Amino acid sequence: MKALVAIFIFYSFLLGKNDLIPKWTQYGRLGSSHLEELGGLSFFRLKRIKQNSYRDIRFIGLFIPKNTIVTMRYKSSNKYNATPHFYRFNVTSLKKNSISGLKVRYHYNQGFGAFLLERPFTHITSEIALSFDMSDYLNSTRKTSYFKGGLFWDLNVNRTFFAFDLEYFYQISDLLPGDPTLSRYEISAEANIWIKDPWLLTIGFEQEFYFAEERVNSKSLYLAFGFKRPANWNF
């Protein structure tokens, strides 16, 4: 029910009226992934840009026998009119990762970002935020708080688009006795190779690095065939 409320709020943002026409982009992928074993991958994304506002919702699934990573993530950000190199953002996500022992993790973070480099073919952004999550969202109300930092680099080279992400989560809430820290790094790298518009081939890598040795790090590789195309929507 709460997930449905989050989606409703997302569309409430999208349906706000304005004379300016937004730019919509939709993405989809199907392919294979490796998460200790070979399995399948599915991905769908909607992105909306309107003047200085940005909205993005993603559904990602890595399906391996006995192991699964499923993520639903929504991000909204707004550039400051007076200083458009800076922006504020909110991220909400639900994630299930059977490798790391997560049942359903609810995560929320809110913070500020800056464009460190912005060119027609590349840009680098940095973000800082305060965040919290609930590692067993359906069965527990216990929250874990973090300081979060991130560095993100996108690069266009001929007909290939690269994306590199590095995120750092430092746990600032108190630990229970015998409970290992959830502080971690998360890294990802992806290459999208255009075949013929709107079709592309995607190769990617993701990994978590927990500070605590008791936590199990997960690593996934994936190869997918998909599309990227505009959507002619005016809302």
pLDDT in tens, 148-207: 999 999 999 989 999 999 999 999 987 777 788 889 999 999 999 999 989 999 999 999
Res 36 pLDDT > 80: no
- In this prediction, residue 168 carries a pLDDT of 95
pTM: 0.82
- With beta carbons less than 8 A apart as the criterion, state whether 61 and 87 touch: no
- 3-state DSSP assignment of residue 64: strand
* Homologous superfamily of the 2-231 domain (CATH): monomeric porin ompg (2.40.160.40)
Higher per-residue pLDDT: 204 or 16: 204
Res 8 pLDDT > 60: no
Residue the block writes with tokens 């950000």: 77
Res 97 pLDDT > 90: no
- In this prediction, residue 109 carries a pLDDT of 92
Q: Which residues contact 158 (CB under 8 A, 6 or more apart)?
A: none
Give the whole-number percent of the chain exceeding pLDDT 90: 57
Higher per-residue pLDDT: 199 or 70: 199
Res 4 pLDDT > 50: no
Domain definitions of the chain by residue range: 2-231
Reported confidence tier of residue 99, pLDDT bands at 50, 70, 90: low
H or E element that contains 12? helix 2-14
